[in-house]
Amino acid sequence: MQVLNTKNELISLLENLRKEGKKIGFVPTMGALHEGHLSLVKESKHNSDITVVSIFVNPTQFNDQEDLKRYPRTLDKDIELLKTVDCDIAFAPSVEEIYPEPDTRKFDFGYIETVMEGAKRPGHFNGGQVVSRLFDIVQPDKAFFGMKDFQQIAIIKNMVKQLKYNIEIIPCPIIREENGLAKSSRNTLLDEEYKKNAPHIYATLKKARNLASQMNVSELKKWIADEINNNPYLETEYVEIVDDTTLKVVENWSEEGTKVACVAVYAGKIRLIDNIVF
């Protein structure tokens, strides 16, 4: 596996590989890798000739500077993990390499950036800036994203359309711990008691899926929030049930389309997100 730190090195290497007819798969990450990320790498390996993984903690998508400081950075361990799944190229640039000058672009994602994460974390989807910069550098044929960041996938698909990229966006299933907790880099920041209680989030979502036939949408959303908040280690920030394509908030079960229940929950100071398809 090659580890590169500059975009010029990476662009030059990938140009030569493309000349050989190689198809490029790309997995953008913020590091602190876990099995969820590795599952994306495996998916890319299965569907591409060359797999590139970026490791870059993007400062522009943190509206809370304390959250940015807390975010785990484990580059050496990340590199070793990528070797275990035969990743071809790891790209670990500095902030200056990605942003030699401030990126003042603003994307208009319309409705899909006004709900859930967009409503609670103003500026969060400026992360579209870094994904577009990485797409410009890597120019992948396919890019792989985990379904845990469900809203992010909708945003990126929208950005690809706006910027007319010829890139296939491939959503991949959520990878969970044995206890059901969605794997996340933030899990490493959980104190022991919070870590023990965090699986209650997914347990609640599974119960909610079974209760959907017995309650209307607003009743079920309230039930999910109450059930999570009954655990003293957890505090719900939002519960939303949305259309899986448009992210429009669902008001009645009779509406067409697949429904997804999405939650953001605080376990102490650590913010966790999860979702389940109904």
Catalytic residues: 37
Burial label, 169 (beta-carbon count in 10 A; 0-12, 13-18, 19+): middle
Sign of CA dihedral 229, 232, 234, 235: positive
C-alpha to C-alpha distance for 40 and 43, rounded to whole angstroms: 5
C-alpha to C-alpha distance for 178 and 134, rounded to whole angstroms: 33
Q: Do the beta carbons of residue 239 and residue 221 sit within 8 Å?
A: yes
C-alpha to C-alpha distance for 123 and 118, rounded to whole angstroms: 7
Q: Do the beta carbons of residue 48 and residue 60 sit within 8 Å?
A: no
CA distances (Å), origin 274, targets 7, 142, 241, 250? 33, 24, 12, 17
